[in-house]
Amino acid sequence: MRDPAKSETRHGYVMSKYQNGSVIAFREISQSIEIDRNLMSSAIFFLLVGLAIAQGTLPATPPKGTALTDIPILGLGTWQISTNTAEAVSDAIVQGYRHIDAAYIYGNQGGVGQGITDGLRKTGLKREDLWITGKLWSTRHGQEEYGLKETLNQLGLEYLDLFLIHWPVGNSTTRTTYDYIQTWKGMEKLVKPTGGGTRYIGLANFSPSQVDDIMKIATIKPKVHQFELHPYLQQSSFILTNHAHNISITAYSPLGNTNPVYSGSQGGSRQPKILSHTTITSIAKERGCTPAQVVLAWNMARGVSVIPKAAKAEHRKENIETVTKCKLEGGDVEKIGKLDAKLRLSILCGTGDLRAECFRGLDASP
């Protein structure tokens, strides 16, 4: 890591802006410690990274009986796990995954729920040892309670740990609109300490001004914001904005254009596959990691939890082993910082004028 053009402290974070325009933020350890990157030893670097990881996240495999008051740093994405879903999810729990990311729109919550039941039976874990995230689909805005019940029924669960508004835009047969304020008020009613509700609520795919709008009216604050983050879309300033509101961040599509869905019109082929990029492969070789582990470890070093989807058992194993087997050095983070291509792959938000509003103020807004 070399001379930042500028370092400043904002909202309890030390933010370093580099000459190439990239921004890296670390949780500040003490007002009295000045972070000078020329002097920063690798020991301090790893202390900072450790603190960043600790910010709003738990280990990937918290010990049995841990109170899950935060989201585990690594979980399993389930979009497009369409065959053998139950087997993939139960196997993941056996492999040590404690966080499963589901959504109504993925159309596979029955299999995900069966996998959770099987995984608990195989491991002897209890429901409260897992963190299950669900998402309110756009056609369910205005019917938040119904949306949650539908999800719980499909998953066969009594409660969720986290329920997100999947997109800020609501769709019905008669209207498509930004109705997220009203929707948030409905979501707040779902937070219940006992069965039938959700422990926490959060956001997905919101823009900076939409996050601000929610913060102004929320009586229950968002716990987590889930959005697209990978080396080709780094959004480092937006990470700071969310952390300043005390909102944890989960990276979706953390393996970037590895997801084949993004190869066509969504522009994934405009860049080399991230796992074949020479910067990633050379760091992987140097550190004894795989390319996927380097990419996941980079986001985790920013205090961001990751939810790689892996239908293949060997991919799931490789991904969860990131936590124990892949340690990045300071210079690695800076090198990956240079790969930002402002390449937004998930562009499904709204149409027409609504689309123009999506991601306003962020890199690669439509």
Ligand X SMILES: NC(=O)c1ccc[n+]([C@@H]2O[C@H](COP(=O)([O-])OP(=O)(O)OC[C@H]3O[C@@H](n4cnc5c(N)ncnc54)[C@H](OP(=O)(O)O)[C@@H]3O)[C@@H](O)[C@H]2O)c1
Residues in contact with ligand X by CB under 6 A are: 77-79, 101, 166, 204-205, 226, 252-255, 258-260, 275, 292, 307-312, 315, 318-319, 346
HEC assignment per residue over the chain:
CCCCCEEEEECCEEEEECCCCCEEEEECCCCCCCCCCCCCCHHHHHHHHHHHHHCCEECCCCCCCCCCCCEECECEECCCCCCCHHHHHHHHHHHCCCEEECCHHHCCHHHHHHHHHHHHHHHCCCHHHCEEEEEECHHHCCCHHHHHHHHHHHHCCCCEEEEEECCCEEECCCCEEECHHHHHHHHHCCECCCCCCEEEEEEECCCHHHHHHHHHHCCCCCCEEEEECECCECCHHHHHHHHHCCCEEEEECCCHHHCHHHHCCCCHHHCCCHHHCHHHHHHHHHHCCCHHHHHHHHHHHCCCEECCECCCHHHHHHHHCHHHHCCCCHHHHHHHHCCCCCCCCCCCCCCHHHHHHCCCCCCCCC
Nearest distance from C-beta of residue 308 to ligand X, angstroms: 4
Nearer to ligand X, 211 or 310 (CB): 310
Nearest distance from C-beta of residue 80 to ligand X, angstroms: 6
Residue whose beta carbon is closest to ligand X? 77
Active site residue 106: yes
- Structure token digits, residue 271: 């860049």
Nearest Cα residue to 100 out of 74, 66, 67, 63: 74
Nearest distance from C-beta of residue 92 to ligand X, angstroms: 11
Q: Which amino acid is at 214?
A: I
Q: Name the active-site residue from 18, 97, 104, 106.
A: 106
Instruction: Answer yes or no: are the C-beta atoms of 152 and 188 closer than 8 Å.
Output: no
Nearer to ligand X, 49 or 249 (CB): 249
Q: Which residues are catalytic?
A: 106
